[in-house]
Amino acid sequence: MSEKSERPAEKDLMKVAVPISAGPMPPAVVRVDEVVGVDDGDAGDGLVLDKDKGAIRIVHYELDDEDNPDGVGEMGVGTMQQLHSFSLSELRGVTHDFSSGYLLGEGGFGAVHKGFVDAGMRPGLEPQPVAVKQLNIAGHQGHREWLAEVIFLGQFRHQHLLKLLGYCYEDEERLLVYEFMPRGSLDNHLFKRISATLPWNTRLKVAISTAKGVAFLHGGKQPVIYRDLKASNILLDSDFTAKLSDFGLAKMGPEGDETHVSTRVMGTHGYAAPEYVQTGHLTVKSDVYSFGVVLLELLTGRRAMEHVPGRTARAEQTIKLVEWTRPYLASSRRLRCIMDQKLSGHYSVKGARAMAHLAVQCTSPQPRDRPSMAAIVEALEQLEGLKDMAVSMGLFWPTAPAAGRNALSAKFRAEMKGAGTGAVPRRRTASANLS
């Protein structure tokens, strides 16, 4: 069955040089095939579009200088899906003045609050709960990331991309209005102690739907590189179908004879591909590496990076999940030693082995050895029908209540140390952002 998705046709695109700044923007976006212009007035440069015309879609976007978010960039512009322009007072109303009781979470971009919208606010707007993300004005490159989200989520529609409903651009305020995802992030389900266990079949479903979202981004004539694939950016709907969120770091990929895009290194430690961190060379295979890390998190229930406490601050270690798991991924007998204890052995042995093998391929040090996202989707879908389930793994887990949730037995601690991976990490995350 074909997936419902929308990608602008290449023939509909045209390119215009557009100064991008934090200056005033029109109160409504418009259909740019009718009116496009540049405002170079004293108030600040920006898009000047006829607000009476309808909707805008910006298809190709790239700032010339990532260190200068107000610099001149190039945009390819075509017809666009409707995005609603909301006033700040309207969004204050639907979130009860951004009440703490409606707070869903906070991140680098700012705070996210729950609200509710309907056709009374805008004709044709379906009654639905929404998530309202408010820019932290003092945040690093906040306006730039806000603009990137409007550009990418404003142009693409796909069942595995979070739907952007509208935005607010008023004075210094920058807000985004998304569909509400009732299950929250994958991060919360895997790593929060109070969360219920994600069954194996649900983990596989999350992996497949996430892979489909990334494959869609990579599938165009000029791919979109997501650049920040991680568990906290994977949101789940009521049926645990995954959708990609937070496109603030997304970037258009290489085109023509180009092999990569050179860019400032940004993203999250533990998820970023090594060649990207070392050289700043970005390709679709950078996303594939990050997806491999997510697969390891689904298998183990551990974060991409964790701290190992020491007797002193100097003795603390930071363990990368990719390195920690590598000695255990080659055989199913060793793999079961690092499977998420919360699964209690209830998972497909063949499925886990195949997913582990795929994770090894995705996190290969050599980008050319990593599979495409389309191939990954195909490989994961073949695991859905597997019914073989492992037996309880209690033998391999410590029974002492004081032991860490995923702590291994003394035998495997020694074995791991001998493999050069250090000690077993406890539950302290170390997934700081790159900059």
Pair 277, 221 in one domain: yes
Q: For residue 163, give the amino acid letter.
A: K
Residue 386 maps to a domain = yes
Domain boundary among 53, 80, 107: 80
Residue 349 maps to a domain = yes
pLDDT at 364 over 90: yes
Residue 262 maps to a domain = yes
Q: Which residue has the tokens 């995705």?
A: 362
Q: What are phi and psi of 323, to 5 degrees?
A: -75, -40
Pair 256, 219 in one domain: yes
Residue 1 maps to a domain = no
Pair 157, 42 in one domain: no
**Per-residue tokens: 209:** 């739907």
Domain boundary among 161, 179, 197: 179
Over residues 318-330, mean pLDDT: 92
Domain boundary among 31, 62, 80: 80
pLDDT at 334 over 80: yes
Pair 319, 202 in one domain: yes
Q: Of residues 45, 228, 246, 287, which has the active-site annotation?
A: 228
Pair 192, 239 in one domain: yes
Residue 4 maps to a domain = no
Pair 276, 351 in one domain: yes
Query: In CATH, what number is assigned to the domain containing residue 107?
Result: 3.30.200.20
Pair 67, 92 in one domain: no
Pair 140, 225 in one domain: no
Residue 2 maps to a domain = no
Q: Label each residue of the chain as H, E or C.
A: CCCCEECCCHHHCEEEEEECCCCCCCCCCCCCCCCCCEECCCCCCEECCCCCCCCCEEEEEEECCCCCCCCEEEEEEECCCCCEECCHHHHHHHCCCCCHHHEEEECCCEEEEEEEECCCCCCCCCCEEEEEEEECCCCCCHHHHHHHHHHHHHHCEECCECCEEEEEEECCEEEEEEECCCCCEHHHHHHCCCCCCCCHHHHHHHHHHHHHHHHHHHCCCCCEECCCCCHHHEEECCCCCEEECCCCCCEECCCCCCCCEECCCCEECCCCCHHHHHHCEECHHHHHHHHHHHHHHHHHCCCCEEEECCCCHHHCEEEEHHHHHHHHCCCHHHHCCCCCHHHCCCCCHHHHHHHHHHHHHHCCCCHHHCCCHHHHHHHHHCCCCCCCCCCCCHHHCCCCCCCCCCCCCHHHHHHHHHCCCCCCCCCCECCCEEC
pLDDT tens across 256-292, in order? 666 677 677 787 889 999 999 999 889 999 999 999 9
pTM value? 0.76
Over residues 100-123, mean pLDDT: 90
Residue 3 maps to a domain = no
pLDDT tens across 2-58, in order? 445 665 544 433 333 333 333 333 333 322 222 222 222 222 233 333 333 333 334
When divided into structural domains, the chain yields a total of 3
Pair 250, 165 in one domain: no
Structural domain of 146: 85-179
Q: Which pLDDT belongs to residue 168?
A: 93
Cα–Cα distance list, 261 to 152, 224, 271, 292 (Å): 17, 11, 18, 21
Q: Is 45 a catalytic residue?
A: no
Is 387 marked as binding a ligand? no
pLDDT tens across 376-414, in order? 999 999 999 888 876 544 434 332 223 333 444 444 444
Q: CB neighbours of 37 closer than 8 A, spacing ≥ 6?
A: 47, 48, 49
What rounded mean pLDDT belongs to the chain? 75
Pair 56, 92 in one domain: no
Pair 160, 303 in one domain: no
Query: In CATH, what number is assigned to the domain containing residue 220?
Result: 1.10.510.10
Residue 385 maps to a domain = yes
pLDDT tens across 196-211, in order? 899 999 999 999 999 9
Pair 134, 191 in one domain: no
